Chains A and B, each alone.
Chain A
Amino acid sequence: MTASEHVLGLGWDDVSAVEERDGMPTLQVAPQRLRELLEILKRDLGFEIAILVTAVDHSPKAPRFELVQQFLSIQNNERLRLRCPLEGDNPSASSCIDLWPGAAYMERECWDMFGIQFDGHKNLRRLLMPEAYGHHPLRKEFPHQGIEPDRLYREWERSRIERAAEREGQEGVNS
């Protein structure tokens, strides 16, 4: 019995099989059931590795975001993809880093690029963009040339010039 058959055999009405791509069985799961399903994947079905945690922005369709997670089981030689639709513009999903610590960076990247919160993630900071950057670049409304991409640099530069001027002023007083 494959893992997806096992999960479907549990009889949850918020978990369903969807179209299979690239030979990878795919399950669609509701957000409230996600955590429970992940624990079963890790403990009972032997999925040792989280390969991918990412998201898709389906804007302007609702539900807007879809969380996509892929898992690999070496002992059973099988893979599984989970798709989890998330409501709202600033959605959140349950983190899986206590089950697969290696997913921490992928969840950070997902937060950075899409703005999806992961509940239970201890260190959910931006991974690629500067810390104070206010936008999430892979969202559909984000222009590819960016929204003030040089803002943080200009702020840094202004403070640098001000510091230099201050230093000069102090030296002038001392001399």
Chain B
Amino acid sequence: MGSLKEITTTDDESGFMATQVNELMNWGRKNSLWPMPLGLSCCGIELMAMIGPKFDIARFGAEAARFSPRQCDVMIVAGTLTWKMAEAARTIYDQMPDPKWVIAMGVCSSSGGMYDSYAVVQGVDSILPVDIYVPGCPPRPDALIDAIMKLQRKIERENPLKRVLEGPTDLDESGTGIFAKAPNMEVKTNRYGTYMDDSGMKDDHSTARAKEES
């Protein structure tokens, strides 16, 4: 019990606090989000405005934009993602260390927007697990700051300790849950007829799993 004696101290200004490991980790994570600025078109300008002094994302601890994915936590897809660029975007996402989040900024990256075209990815959620969607064309920096704050609130609810104790979660369970399988697996869609098999859109999570196991 000698250690207990060491903690008690006569100095009034020092002390200790009790918390949960999850709370502590989430607190650290949410206040030091380092964005990966993937500025692909006009949304990139608003993204820069958000990082700059006027809107000052440093107030939320997210001002350290790094152009190396190895140093980033949150990927902000700002703009129109084309299929030609999709491989690069996915590679950047894969190179980011865990934990990582994705913000789809603007309608182009959220849904393809007005580019209902052969060249444009119809929503980056077909290749990446998106956490927050920001509407707008382009969204104001305020809207993106709101997205950062919502992401912080989402991070507060995470359970990082479970991940440490039980190992990484299945890829299927990360992401938005919109797709039957995780976006980094093959997605069945009825948008481009050739990707439909006989079961069509009935291909839900359970059948996808059954296929994987068989």
- Give A residues with C-beta under 8 Å from B: 128-130, 137, 142-154, 156-158, 160-161
Contacts and interface: CB of A to CB of B under 8 A. Distances in A.
B192 A152 contact: no
B116 interface: yes
B194 interface: yes
Interface in B88-118: 90, 116-118
B118 A144 contact: yes
A79 B121 CA distance: 40
Contacts of B195: 148
Contacts of B127: 153, 157
Q: Indicate the member of B83, B87, B116, B118 with the most A CB atoms within 10 Å.
A: B118
B53 to A, nearest CB: 38
B83 A153 contact: yes
Contacts of A150: 83, 86, 121, 126, 192
19 contacts: A128-B119, A137-B118, A144-B116, A144-B118, A145-B117, A146-B119, A146-B192, A147-B192, A148-B194, A149-B118, A149-B192, A150-B83, A150-B192, A151-B194, A152-B83, A153-B86, A153-B127, A156-B87, A158-B186
Contact of A145 (B84, B87, B118, B121): B118
Q: Which 7 A-B pairs have the closest CB atoms?
A: A146-B118, A149-B118, A153-B86, A148-B192, A148-B194, A156-B87, A149-B83
A125 B84 CA distance: 15
A114 B186 CA distance: 31
Contact of B83 (A130, A142, A143, A161): A130
A129 B121 CA distance: 14
Interface residues of B, number: 19
Interface of B: 83-84, 86-87, 90, 116-119, 121, 126-127, 184-186, 191-192, 194-195
A160 B95 CA distance: 13
Nearest to A164: B94
Contact of A129 (B84, B87, B186, B194): B84
A149 B116 contact: no
B87 A153 contact: yes
A161 B194 CA distance: 21
Given A128-B119, A137-B119, 7 more contacts: A130-B84, A137-B118, A143-B118, A148-B195, A149-B83, A158-B186, A160-B90
Nearest to B194: A148
A114 to B, nearest CB: 15
Contacts of A147: 118, 192
Contacts of A157: 90, 127, 184, 186
Kindly name the residue among B83, B90, B194 whose own CB sees the greatest number of chain A CB atoms within 10 A: B83
B126 A145 contact: no
Contacts of A154: 186
